[in-house]
Amino acid sequence: MSGARWEPQSTSPSPWRKAIETAHNGERHAYGFGQRLRDYWALGKSLQTGLLLFTGVAGFSSARCPVLSWSSLLALLGSLFFAVSGSTVLNMVYDRDIDARMKRTQGRPLPAGRLGAGEALALGLGLSAAGLIWAFSLTRTYGLVVLAGLFFDVVVYTIFLKRRTPWSILWGGIAGGMPALAGRVLAVGRIDLLGILLALAVLFWIPTHILTFSQKYAEDYRRAGVPVFPNTHGERLTRGIVAISTALAALIMIAVAVLLELKWGYLRALGALSFLLVVMAFTTVVRPSSSLNFRLFKFASLYMLGAMGLIALG
């Protein structure tokens, strides 16, 4: 069988061969305007973008000063939405070859051939530029923080480090913490301790979210040639890193709540959420299982949403 080449018996090409030839020739499947819009929306990873926007709102709402008007809140949401979704689209353009080799991501608009890289690049650049222009029109410091988030995410994390080292998630985490810091900066006009702590909470939360995900799809990442901790350092060390970073994220969130002098009810709710997250993380170290690992991945997002919600409401 070595060196043998399989040929289909039918004279008409199979659906698989037609799909490969279509993608290889750079052609795109014909589809309606609604589907195109859905594909554009998918490029921005709406759930991820929404969570980052929520951390920005929490940072903004943490300031106890008369800036919480609808106009300023909408400006925050609009500028962050354009910047975050724009950087995500640019990442999708750069990583389209990786996505094509991973079973989990082969159906995305770019590797599936439904959208062209050129139009996706134009979309990403346009959204990013709109977000940055809007951000700098609000305040220079706020604009610089938004620019830093975009730079760390696209240039440092995706282009330079993602394919070279599993430690790229550190820079991805820094980028992920920028919306929370940006929200705080827009409210108070400067970078302060609470803004830095909110960004650090997201930074240390990132491994809980990303590493549990990479454990589930370790084979996909190996196939794509992307170094992730489960493949480069083993499952045991990965679980240890997740547990430690989870505990740090929870402690920092509680410290933020204490410094903001939240009422006892909010503190108690945040403490309960933090305790449950840390227990789940350390349980994966003692009793590792794929099901518990995936539940931790899911709960990590709910934790960040709930914790930031308590900060905003409190």
Question: What is the model's pLDDT at position 33?
Answer: 75
Higher pLDDT, 261 or 2: 261
Tokens of 123: 């979309």
Place of tokens 């043998």: 4
pLDDT of residue 297: 84
Residue 93, H or E segment: helix 70-94
Mean pLDDT of 170-174: 93
Query: Which among 210, 303, 299 is positioned nearest to 250, based on CA atoms?
Result: 303
pLDDT tens digits for range 209-261: 888 888 888 899 999 899 999 999 998 999 999 999 999 999 999 999 999 98
Q: Which three-class secondary structure state does DSSP give residue 163?
A: coil
Q: At what angle do helices 117-138 and 33-43 cross, to 10 degrees?
A: 60
pLDDT at 55 > cutoff 90? yes
Band of pLDDT at residue 31, cut at 50, 70 and 90: low
The top-level CATH class assigned to 41-313 is mainly alpha
Q: How confident is the model over 63-67, as a mean pLDDT?
A: 62
The pLDDT of residue 169 = 92
* Residue 195 pLDDT greater than 80, yes or no: yes
Mean pLDDT across the stretch 70-80?
91
Band the pLDDT of 22: cuts 50, 70, 90. Answer: very low
pTM above 0.95, yes or no: no
The arithmetic mean of pLDDT across residues 43-63, rounded, is: 91
Residue 69 has pLDDT above 90, yes or no: no
Percent of the chain scoring above 70 in pLDDT: 89
Kindly indicate the confidence band of residue 12, based on its pLDDT and cuts at 50, 70 and 90: very low
Span 130-154, average pLDDT: 97
> Please, are residues 159 and 111 in contact by the beta-carbon 8 Å criterion?
no
Rounded mean pLDDT of the chain?
Answer: 86
Mean pLDDT of 69-80: 90
CA distances from 277 to 86, 182, 264, 305 (A): 31, 26, 20, 13
- What pLDDT does residue 35 have? 82
- For position 13, what pLDDT does the model report? 43
pLDDT for residue 155: 96
For residue 5, the model assigns a pLDDT of: 38
* pLDDT at res. 65: 57
**Dist. CA 232–CA 81, nearest whole Å:** 34
Tens-place pLDDT, residues 268-301: 999 999 999 999 999 988 888 888 888 888 888 8
Query: One-letter amino acid identity for 310?
Result: L
What is the C-alpha separation between 231 and 8, in angstroms, rounded? Answer: 37
What are the boundaries of each domain within the chain? Answer: 41-313
